[in-house]
């Protein structure tokens, strides 16, 4: 059997041959002759002359191969107390009907469609229906508020929006239609129509001629066939947080995405067609795109769409119940979910109620997996707990322990080693590789592999300046870390203004933009401080305009409400402190990093370039030790 080292060396020796070989597992309308197009380097595209359809590979081909009766999707919804199983044949019917609805209403290849849906099978149906007719979907996470949705509508300029009437968050029913209407009203771009799935928990009021009923339209729709698309045509845009309030529209092309995800299912996760794969994330995030929808379906697995939380729906045993009931072979979740379970059930009492013998492994990603949490899961589950590291931009793991190739030694705190496709170097400020064990910026040698972003939507210059400029010849990940003597990576921190709250990637810059709009706020900073449950939590520090005589407490409360209203509850912006002045360097740069260290009680030095040390002393008196840093 080939080892990880063999396979990685194999890729290094001839990357194009490696991916051309992986591409043979995809059904092409026209197989690619060109594997990697470098004519426009550093912009590169994989399989540009292939002709294909992602929906065909995720759905139709399994039915054609005789597996139409196999379950494709299990919807397990403790919040509605229901379970639904959808076979591949049924999925094909549902997807081609919705594709038919969209085609009949004028959606064509290349048109954009925004999807705003909770964790229901129709979210996957919507994505696949777009893929079927070559439309480019952009799913927006339900926890974002109307403003964030509007920003995405204006950037993607969709012809249609597919939505559900409500989401259900634990005990709360959240009507989506008011958010949707609010976003459309705010956006400069107006879609032609919406298609709304009515859920009984909160039906939406539909406006005739603009809002159409999903179920009624699907019932009378013609089945649309798969539209052939080019390998480098876009499958989707997924917005992710950057440094500013304008999110980055990560683009995913059809061919490279299929080839890469299909490769990962066996080689990284060690699952085969027919196995049950469960990514307990949300379709609004990249994990949901890659491993709730496309990856498992491309590989012919059964995917679990879970509409619930790790705790409270109804208890800390829910994950274990789902694993037993549906015979889940691989669970993929964020460390924060395990921390939530561990906090409620430290001795894992609930585990005794369930048979987890079918579970092969547990994969973690989305944020740093702290050794405490890994140790807890390892102790009670007695299965490999695999940390792996990736980003919205890459779409699949940069570093992992590839269980389908071989199980490498697990080093808690490390997501293990680079996957084929990724040469990962740790660089100093001058762009030179540092010695093993030294901290530096983590960069990936170009070209990026299939599946990783080829560009940002309508923002090629931003793509180049955000990712390719700092270290010529490399993609800058925005993460800092270490590589040890065995080549294992350790991901330590972001090098930019992105924070990670409960596995959700958020921009402190975007929150600062919102706070600056408060009429009494003169200046502000948002920092990510340690949080024992969520990994990080935002903390707002605001200075008021001269002469403001309103209560500080009142203003801080309004700031909290403003971020919730503008960005959404997912920002989890709950703490805001009014201060006299922000500590800055003499050149005017706010000392965010120093404030984080003070809050988290980690060692820090007084920066030599500080303008007025008294400002830092004053803040230290307010925030010292309020963070709860993880091990
Ligand atoms: N629609 C609407 N609101 C949403 C939402 C959605 N899809 N997702 C989250 N929210 C809301 C929550 O209801 C909460 O609102 P509140 O302030 O009124 O309580 C807020 O956004 C923050 O949500 P969250 O960070 O998820 O916190 P929580 O306290 O509800 O739950 C955990 C904490 C740890 C249980 C939860 O974060 C979790 O399960 N995390 C797993 C992380 C994950 O899947 N990450 C994806 C990347 S792999
Ligand atoms: P997202 O784009 O939302 O997937 O967030 C990507 C970022 O989350 C990465 O750049 C890291 O900062 C962080 N991240 C993801 N997975 C891990 C991991 N396994 N260990 C440490 N950080 C991680």
Looking up residue 489, the CATH number of its domain turns out to be 2.30.38.10
- The closest alpha carbon to 113, from 124, 132, 127, belongs to 127
Give me the pLDDT at residue 172, please: 96
CB atoms within 10 A of CB 272: 13
Look at ligand 1, atom 47, and give the residue with the nearest C-alpha. Answer: 503
d(CA 418, CA 434): 17
Looking at the CA of residue 477, tell me the nearest atom of ligand 2. 10
Q: Is position 578 within any domain?
A: yes
Q: Is position 550 within any domain?
A: yes
Residues 538 and 512 occupy one common structural domain: yes
Looking at the CA of residue 286, tell me the nearest atom of ligand 2. 4
CA of 451 to the centre of ligand 2 (A): 17
Q: Is position 603 within any domain?
A: yes
pLDDT band at 378 (very low <50, low <70, confident <90, very high): very high
Residues 513 and 616 occupy one common structural domain: yes
Pocket residue to mutate for ligand 2, from 369, 396, 400, 505, most atoms within 8 A of Cβ: 505
Q: Give, for 264, the enclosing helix (H) or strand (E).
A: helix 254-267
Sheet containing 302-306: which strands, arranged edge to edge? Answer: 82-87, 71-77, 302-306, 276-279, 330-333, 361-364, 385-387
CA of 252 to the centre of ligand 2 (A): 18
Residues 546 and 489 occupy one common structural domain: no
Return the SS3 of 544.
Answer: strand
Which of residues 463, 497, 531 is at a domain's end? 497
Pocket residue to mutate for ligand 1, from 169, 331, 338, most atoms within 8 A of Cβ: 169
Sequence-distant (6+) residues with CB within 8 A of 589 are: none
Return the SS3 of 247.
Answer: coil
Ligand nearest to the CA of 286: 2
pLDDT band at 608 (very low <50, low <70, confident <90, very high): confident
- Percent of the chain past pLDDT 70, that is, above it, reads 100
Residues 585 and 478 occupy one common structural domain: no
Q: Is position 164 within any domain?
A: no
Q: Is position 584 within any domain?
A: yes
pLDDT of 66 higher than 80: yes
Pocket residue to mutate for ligand 1, from 570, 574, 575, most atoms within 8 A of Cβ: 570
Which one-letter DSSP state was computed for residue 57? I
Pairing of strands 399-400, 385-387: unpaired
pLDDT band at 12 (very low <50, low <70, confident <90, very high): very high
Looking at the CA of residue 118, tell me the nearest atom of ligand 1. 7
Ligand nearest to the CA of 630: 2
Radius of gyration over every alpha carbon of the chain, rounded to an integer in angstroms: 24
Ligand nearest to the CA of 306: 1
Look at ligand 1, atom 13, and give the residue with the nearest C-alpha. Answer: 169
pLDDT band at 497 (very low <50, low <70, confident <90, very high): confident
Take residue 353 and report the two structure tokens written for it.
């109620």
Which of residues 436, 468, 497 is at a domain's end? 497
Which of residues 478, 497, 516 is at a domain's end? 497
d(CA 418, CA 411): 14
Average pLDDT over residues 457-475: 97
Look at ligand 2, atom 19, and give the residue with the nearest C-alpha. Answer: 389
CA of 504 to the centre of ligand 2 (A): 9
Residues 459 and 510 occupy one common structural domain: no
Counted domains in the chain:
3
Residues 484 and 602 occupy one common structural domain: no
Residues 507 and 492 occupy one common structural domain: no
Tens digits of residue pLDDT in 225-235: 999 999 999 99
pLDDT of 243 higher than 90: no
**Which residues form ligand 1's pocket by a CB distance below 6 Å?**
118, 142-143, 167, 169, 174, 281-282, 285, 287, 309-311, 334, 336-337, 340, 366, 502-504, 533, 569-570, 572
CA of 456 to the centre of ligand 2 (A): 19
Give me the pLDDT at residue 63, please: 98
Ligand nearest to the CA of 149: 1
Give me the pLDDT at residue 631, please: 66
Q: Is position 61 within any domain?
A: no
Looking at the CA of residue 502, tell me the nearest atom of ligand 1. 37
Domain span including residue 24: 1-34
CA of 331 to the centre of ligand 2 (A): 18
Pairing of strands 504-507, 276-279: unpaired
Average pLDDT over residues 39-63: 98
Ligand nearest to the CA of 291: 1
Alpha carbon 292 to its chain's center: 11
d(CA 248, CA 243): 9
- Percent of the chain past pLDDT 90, that is, above it, reads 95
Residues 530 and 548 occupy one common structural domain: yes
**Which residues form ligand 2's pocket by a CB distance below 6 Å?**
240, 286, 365-369, 387-392, 415, 477-479, 491, 494, 500, 505
Average pLDDT over residues 184-212: 98
Tell me the sheet residues that pair with 344: none
Residues 574 and 604 occupy one common structural domain: yes
Look at ligand 2, atom 9, and give the residue with the nearest C-alpha. Answer: 391
Q: Is position 415 within any domain?
A: no
Q: Is position 194 within any domain?
A: no
Looking at the CA of residue 387, tell me the nearest atom of ligand 2. 19
Residues 598 and 552 occupy one common structural domain: yes
């Amino acid at each position: 059997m080939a080892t990880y080292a063999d396979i990685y060396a194999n890729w290094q020796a001839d990357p194009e041959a490696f991916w051309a070989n992986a591409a043979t597992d995809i059904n092409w309308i026209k197989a690619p002759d060109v594997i990697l197009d470098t004519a426009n380097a550093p912009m590169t595209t994989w399989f540009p002359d292939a002709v294909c359809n992602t929906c065909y590979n995720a759905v139709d081909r399994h039915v054609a191969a005789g597996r139409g009766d196999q379950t494709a999707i299990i919807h397990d919804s403790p919040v509605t107390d229901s379970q639904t199983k959808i076979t591949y044949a049924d999925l094909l019917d549902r997807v081609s009907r919705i594709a038919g609805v969209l085609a009949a209403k004028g959606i064509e290849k290349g048109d954009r469609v925004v999807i705003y849906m909770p964790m229901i099978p129709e979210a996957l149906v919507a994505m696949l229906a777009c893929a079927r007719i070559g439309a480019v979907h952009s799913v927006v996470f339900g926890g974002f508020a109307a403003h964030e949705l509007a920003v995405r509508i204006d950037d993607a300029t969709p012809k249609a929006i597919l939505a559900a009437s409500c989401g259900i968050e634990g005990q709360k029913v959240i009507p989506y239609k008011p958010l949707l209407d609010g976003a459309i009203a705010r956006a400069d771009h107006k879609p032609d129509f919406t298609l709304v799935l009515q859920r009984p928990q909160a039906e939406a009021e539909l406006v005739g001629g603009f809002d159409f009923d999903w179920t009624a339209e699907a019932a009378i729709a013609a089945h649309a066939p798969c539209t052939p698309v080019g390998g480098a045509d876009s499958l989707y845009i997924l917005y992710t947080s950057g440094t500013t309030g304008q999110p980055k529209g990560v683009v995913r092309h059809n061919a490279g995405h299929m080839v890469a995800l299909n490769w990962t299912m066996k080689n990284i996760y060690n699952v085969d067609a027919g196995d049950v794969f469960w990514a307990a994330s949300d379709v609004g995030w990249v994990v949901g795109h890659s491993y709730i929808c496309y990856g498992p379906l491309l590989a012919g697995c059964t995917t679990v769409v879970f509409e619930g939380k790790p705790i409270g729906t109804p208890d800390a045993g829910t994950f274990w119940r789902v694993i037993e009931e549906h015979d889940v072979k691989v669970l993929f979740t964020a460390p924060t979910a395990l921390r939530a379970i561990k906090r409620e059930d430290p001795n894992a009492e609930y585990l005794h109620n369930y048979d987890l013998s079918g579970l092969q492994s547990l994969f973690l990603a989305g944020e740093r997996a702290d050794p405490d949490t890994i140790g807890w899961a390892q102790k009670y589950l007695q299965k490999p707990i695999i940390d792996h590291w990736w980003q919205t931009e890459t779409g699949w793991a940069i570093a992992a322990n590839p269980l389908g190739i071989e199980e490498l030694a697990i080093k808690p705190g490390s997501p293990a080693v680079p996957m084929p496709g990724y040469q990962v170097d740790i660089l100093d400020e001058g762009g030179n590789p540092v010695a093993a064990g030294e901290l530096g910026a983590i960069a990936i040698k170009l070209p990026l592999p299939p599946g990783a972003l080829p560009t940002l939507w309508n923002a090629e210059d931003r793509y180049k300046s955000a990712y390719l400029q700092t270290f010529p010849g490399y993609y800058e990940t925005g993460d800092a870390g270490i590589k040890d003597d065995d080549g294992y990576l350790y991901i330590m921190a972001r090098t930019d203004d992105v924070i990670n709250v409960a596995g959700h990637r958020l921009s402190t810059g975007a929150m600062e933009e919102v706070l600056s709009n408060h009429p009494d706020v003169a200046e502000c900073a948002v920092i990510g401080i340690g949080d024992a449950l969520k990994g990080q939590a935002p903390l707002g520090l605001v200075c008021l305009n001269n002469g403001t005589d309103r209560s500080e407490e009142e203003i801080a409360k309004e700031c909290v409400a403003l971020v919730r209203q503008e960005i959404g509850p997912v920002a989890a912006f709950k703490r805001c402190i009014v201060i006299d002045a922000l500590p800055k360097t003499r050149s005017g740069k706010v000392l965010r990093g120093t404030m984080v260290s003070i809050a988290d009680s980690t060692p820090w030095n007084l920066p030599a370039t500080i303008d007025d040390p008294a400002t830092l002393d004053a803040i230290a008196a307010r925030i010292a030790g309020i963070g709860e840093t993880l091990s």
